[in-house]
Amino acid sequence: MSGQEREPARIPVIAGNWKMFKTSAEGAAFIQALAKELGEVRGRQVVVAPPFTGLSEAVKAAAGSSLAIAAQDVFWEWEGAYTGEVSATMLADLGVTAAIVGHSERRRYFAETDETVAKKVWAVLEKGLMPIMCVGENEEEREAGLTEEVLTRQVPAGLGSVRAEDCGRVCIAYEPIWAIGTGHTATPAVAQEAIALVRHEVGRALGRQAADSVRILYGGSVSPHNIDELMAEPDIDGALVGGASLQVESFVRIVDFQTP
């Protein structure tokens, strides 16, 4: 669908990644306030990803609202001697419906690899959850002209265990690492070019129908000031939001993006 209007079946996703912010009580209060401000959400899916410690209370606070709750990470085994890890089985038991996988900070600080990302994507899908699989290049790779090389490696590797028919349940988040938390956002044209490449790689790996159904988000200093322009691009199906998801007012504005 690159260069054309967005596939109607691709409902936009706005996901807020809180990272290591907000206690359980703070998160529950935030979600209650957010749900009240948003009311009934139509035409888009809203996801909030608190820290592990806040997931249970977040699920309770979101009950009866249009908000879905995601985890910020997951382990690929169902159970076992894996100190400190949390399985997709445990997340599903809490009522969590999605999980972020392979975020750049997990890759950078905690040795996530394309192989472990693929295992996590598989585990999340197997338990009926929605994976939000992150891909993207860092500043050094971008300056060296390696963006295409990075994406053509990460995308098919991460989708290695995904069936084509399951791509409608998958989100991929393109995060130019050089834009995360820096205030330097990729221009809509740059984001569109990279995300069109991601969609192309999905098609190469799993076929055209899979490429048309997978939802691809942009993540990297998303704000109320740039969301409308980003969402006007044909291949951008939503946003993975960091800092701007920590304030109700700014996140509501992002959820309420307007396109021509």
Q: Is the dihedral of CA 125, 128, 134, 135 positive or negative?
A: positive
175 flagged as catalytic: yes
Q: Is 157 helix (H, G, I), strand (E, B) or coil?
A: helix
What letter represents residue 168's amino acid? G
The CA-CA-CA angle for residues 66, 227, 69, to 5°, reads: 30
Q: Are strands 13-17 and 130-135 parallel, antiparallel or unpaired?
A: unpaired
77 is catalytic: no
Per DSSP, 133 falls in state E
Task: Quote the CA–CA distance of 205 and 16 in Å, as a whole number.
Answer: 28
Q: State the CB neighbour count (10 A cutoff) for residue 153.
A: 14
| Catalytic residue (choose from 57, 175, 201, 233) | 175
Ramachandran region, residue 221 (left: φ > 0; alpha: ψ -120 to 50; beta: rest): left
With CA atoms as reference, report the closest residue to 174 among 161, 162, 190. Answer: 190
Q: Annotated catalytic sites, by residue? A: 103, 175
